Chain A
Amino acid sequence: MNKRTEAEQKLEQVLHRVLTGLPPRRAPGTLESRVAGELARRALLPWWQASFASWPIAARVMFILVCAVLGVVTILGGVSAYLGDRSFEEATALVLSWAQPLLTVVSSAGGLLSLLLHVIPPLWLYGILGVGAFLYVTLFGLGAAAYRTLYLAPSSAGDAS
């Protein structure tokens, strides 16, 4: 066993003795009244303002059923209103007619990108990628530095006992 391991084991034992030998912290005298006050406030709330888990069983079942029915009615109503009394083929054509402009936009964007890649000199592209990578790394570094400076620095943020 090397010297470092021995020192670390001794440190662990010494600190463990100190920490486990401490009495518990004394709770603030206001804690009991705070809890009682909060319980009284919650007891005065009507059941529908309490958490869902504490609702009466019948109310919970009814709520879930109503939500399910409303969901189904909304979806079926929306689909029905949109398609009307069209046949399956007509409905499919209608949906595809919505997708067509989207496909056109994607295709145009691809064409534009391909054109740019041919027009712009490769050196420029590498430069743009390099600047992007540099900005990414710089901002990441700034974030890390801010974290280490503002957050990790040992603070006396704890409250005075």
Chain B
Amino acid sequence: MRAYQDMVFSTAARLSGSDTQAEDIAQEVFIRAYEHFSDLRSSVTAGGWLKTVTTNLTLNYLSRYRKRWRLFSEMRSSAQDSEDDGAELDWEVPDTVLADLSAEQRSAIVDGALRQLPDHQRLPLVLYHFEELSYQEIADKLGVSLTKIKTDIRRARAALLPLLQTVGGARDTLDG
């Protein structure tokens, strides 16, 4: 358990955006792992199994709330969508972000910024960049259209970068 607990907790925390929920989910994951201990003990894919179970449990956990709000979250007018899609990034994308900070500092800043994103942006972004799923796999997992996934990830990136730059810049100033 010790070998995997950080990975399981990280996955749940970054997907759910809540440490409390992540701890509950991690507990349930390890209890399920215990129930399958005889299969997992000698398996070389135990890490992958744990990651998949963690991802699915977290999505199940969040979907209890997501289903309730899906109607409203997807009812943006097509006019508004096309207007947003047409908007260009009005700032220069830097070559590096948070490069001069330690791994722990970067982790704290990124996790704080991820928590500020709404669920419908954070979930696909984390699944794409951390879990390295394709757009289609994410759309299938979340039960929404491929177009919406691409739009949400693009918006999430556009929202995340300024957050990282602002907080990272402030941290640099404080540290300096």
| Contacts from A to B (Cβ < 8 Å) | 3-4, 7-8, 10-12, 14-28, 30-32, 34-35, 38-39, 42, 54, 143-144, 147-148, 151-152, 154-159, 161
Contact = CB atoms under 8 A, between A and B. Distances in A.
Interface of B: 1-2, 5-10, 13-14, 17-20, 23, 26-27, 30-31, 34-35, 69, 72-73, 75, 88-89, 93-98, 103-104, 106-108, 110-112, 115-118, 129-130, 154, 157-158, 160-161, 164
Nearest to A51: B35
B20 A15 contact: no
A18 B117 contact: no
Contact of A32 (B2, B75, B116): B2
A151 B18 contact: no
Contacts of A158: 17-19, 112, 115-116
A16 B97 CA distance: 11
Contacts of B20: 159
A91 to B, nearest CB: 45
B95 to A, nearest CB: 7
A44 B118 CA distance: 41
Given A10-B93, A18-B106, A25 B26 contact: no
Q: Determine the main DSSP class of A at the interface with B.
A: helix
A48 B9 CA distance: 31
Contact of A14 (B1, B23, B94): B94
B115 A25 contact: no
A59 B103 CA distance: 54
Contacts of A17: 96
